């Protein structure tokens, strides 16, 4: 053992150095090079491979900490995430690479995302913002909404009581009305895109999901092509006749789907029959809906409800209601046995009419 100030061994005169340290540096000499192995430098232009379907645990754009995947579809993956600065929860929809490279779809999505903040409404899960990472990953941020999907509610209950249907349809119509005022058409309205949520007091309300997320205005429904190939694009059960034909769409296509959803909620069945989806699509183009009471025998629906649904599901768009407000008000009035007309009903009061 040597003293702290010892520089040479007193026995043989050997120069001493600190245990486990580097040799002392001679005066005027340069520092020795660090010989610790370094990770190889990535090649120029090399990009990280992104697994869109397994993003849990990552932080997106340095802002959104992704917790877990909560759903996926053909065009996107949906994750629960929270803002690392505010801890607020969001649903992050990460678009598939194929959709991200579709210039037309992206242009439309950017336009609709710009309107997203104006779509803020208690009955709409709207787009908060749209972003793109340096790696080319495109994502959409929306409020995180918890509850029961309407399709699951329908399956669980078999059919939904008329008063509950009137309430949910009024709320869905209110959300759709805001979108239609902004020239946004949902185009894919169905029970799978409606969430039944609970307030703090336990009361329930309906929220419309998946607004304007790069859906094609033409739903790929040209019957000749479908008949020839047997291929059906999208979910056709709730498409309007003009959507099946690939015609231009306006808010009345959402009214048709809303009326069809109402029918299914009340009966547990769709108003058209067919052995295949293709036959059901053709029936929607050629036939009238099966009467409500025939679909659910023994249930004495007010006669006005039948008339409201028939008008909402008219094959020609010109024969339908002109707005979701008008449809929902007519349904509420008919359910109260007040006839099928409707100004100034549930939604009329909501919007100050």
Q: For the chain, what is the radius of gyration of the CA atoms?
A: 31
The active-site residue, picked from 102, 135, 188, 288, is: 188
Helices marked H in 213-323 — which ranges?
223-229, 241-244, 251-267, 277-286, 292-295, 303-312
Question: Which residues, 6+ apart, have CB-to-CB distance to 46 below 8 Å?
Answer: none
What are residue 47's phi and psi, to 5 degrees?
-120, 145
Residue written as tokens 């479908």? 226
Any idea of the CA torsion for 286, 288, 290, 293, to the nearest 10 degrees? 180
How many C-beta atoms surround the C-beta of residue 218 within 10 A?
Answer: 16
Residue written as tokens 């609709």? 112
Structure tokens at 6: 């010892």
Residue 188 annotated as catalytic: yes
Q: Mind telling me the catalytic residues? A: 188
């Amino acid at each position: 053992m040597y003293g702290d100030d010892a520089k040479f061994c007193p026995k043989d005169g050997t120069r001493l150095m600190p245990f486990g340290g580097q040799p002392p540096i001679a005066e005027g000499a340069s520092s020795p090079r660090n010989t610790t192995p370094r990770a190889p430098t990535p090649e120029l232009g090399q990009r990280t491979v992104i697994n869109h379907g397994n993003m849990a645990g990552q932080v997106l754009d340095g802002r959104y900490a992704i917790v877990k995947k909560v759903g996926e579809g053909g065009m996107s993956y949906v994750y629960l995430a929270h803002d690392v600065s505010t801890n607020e929860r969001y649903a992050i929809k990460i678009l598939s690479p194929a959709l991200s490279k579709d210039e037309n779809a992206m242009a439309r999505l950017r336009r609709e995302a710009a309107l997203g903040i104006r779509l803020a409404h208690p009955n709409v899960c709207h787009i908060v913002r749209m972003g793109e990472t340096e790696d080319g990953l495109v994502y959409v941020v929306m409020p995180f909404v918890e509850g029961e999907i309407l399709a699951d509610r329908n399956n669980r209950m078999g059919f939904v009581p008329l008063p509950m249907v009137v309430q949910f349809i009024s709320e869905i119509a209110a959300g759709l009305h805001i979108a239609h005022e902004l020239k946004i058409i949902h185009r894919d309205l169905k029970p799978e895109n409606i969430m039944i949520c609970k307030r703090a007091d336990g009361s329930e309300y309906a929220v419309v999901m998946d607004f304007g997320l790069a859906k094609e205005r033409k739903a790929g429904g040209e019957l000749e092509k479908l008949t020839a190939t047997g291929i059906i694009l999208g979910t056709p059960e709730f498409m309007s006749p003009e959507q099946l034909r690939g015609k231009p769409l306006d808010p009345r296509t959402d009214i048709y789907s809303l009326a069809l959803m109402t029918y299914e909620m009340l009966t547990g069945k769709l108003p058209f029959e067919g052995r295949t989806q293709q036959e059901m699509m053709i029936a929607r183009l050629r036939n009238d809906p099966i009467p409500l009471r025939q679909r659910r025998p023994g249930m004495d629906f007010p006669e006005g409800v039948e008339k409201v649904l028939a008008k909402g599901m008219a094959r020609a768009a010109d024969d339908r209601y002109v707005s979701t407000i008008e449809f929902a008000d007519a349904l509420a009035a008919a359910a109260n046995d007040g006839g099928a007309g409707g100004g100034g009903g549930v939604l009329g009061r909501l919007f100050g009419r």
